[in-house]
Structure 1
Amino acid sequence: MTKESAPLEFDLSAEIPLRPNNGDQLNFDSAALKADLVLSGQIQAELWLSIDVPDTDFHARVFEVCPQTKPLLLAFAIKRARYSSGLQNQSVATSEQPFRLAMNDFNYVSRVLSKGCKIRFVVSSSSWYHQKHYNGPGAVAYQTVKDARAAKVTLWHDNTHASQLRLPVLKSLPVFNTQAFPLADAAK
């Protein structure tokens, strides 16, 4: 393992530096929020993609990006292209035709995003901390560097192939009953 292949420490706060976009990921930023936004539930993404290799992995991450703090990871999902139609229906890419990849397995999130912050959606097809995928047609566990292929990935977004990110937005802030568990200072 080389120094560059893994971080030297893990920050469990979920505040992480975003790696620079060197052409190996797509970053999509929202406009700055005009008001607080409440997310509660499961984020979902529907991506229309084409690849020029038999198979590859896709990693999607959603961040809260605020002016004065580090980006905060809200949720992530991972999907292998060969399972785009479900775990029982493996298929390898046969052409560069677009296929639908539903990423409905993001972890759940419940957070108030602050006014002035942005939402960043990041999609990549490689990740050091999961199983190494060489983009070959066989079982990933048996692939070696001899199977390695660079993948050309195209994310489609047009009238026929509408890639989208769906956020679980609450229309209003929930009202909390502070009387159920009063604070110790409130009893004085």
Structure 2
Amino acid sequence: MTQQMSDRLLFEGVSCELICWAGGELFDPFAHGLQPVRNCTALDRGVLAHYRVDERLWLDELMLDHALPGPPERKPRLGRGPAINGVSPRTHPDMGFTSHYPRLDLPLDFDGGLLIGDGDACERPGRGSPPAWVYLRLRELVFAQGELIEAVDHSEIAAALRERDRRFGDAHRVMAYPAAEAWRQAFAYDYGFCE
């Protein structure tokens, strides 16, 4: 699997990668009349989003290839999606998405947790999505109806797991053992680290 493009989240003036979320639906493109199409192996979900947090969670920008309605074909016809929050899409000039929604400023009523990271502390795997502990700064943001209720810095436990991996090369295996219990219990939500 190709390394996936990550959604981004602006928090405290820093652009972070959105590693994962749990507890609720973050943004449902289908609820807004969109039909995302996977346009490359680096974007399996077919949607790339940029979020922002300033006391609450906002969707600022959305990029996707939208499948137009029509008879089922081997390859869907692509076009622009419907307007969202009063913003009509345009073609993205650099990335080629057929539906680019800049400056959406859409409030999200998300209930759950977001795990965000910034700064590479070690080499990332070349395939799939990088594990949470590869980030120099790892934070969990907890929301109720879109309002930020807690921000917790988990950088120290990520650093401890990186150090164990550096010494023993077993970070992936250790997640399934009692040695990672402190890691698992530190988070407000189950992000599926041990699946």
TM-score by length of 2: 0.23
TM-score by length of 1: 0.24
Larger radius of gyration: 1
Bigger helix share: 2
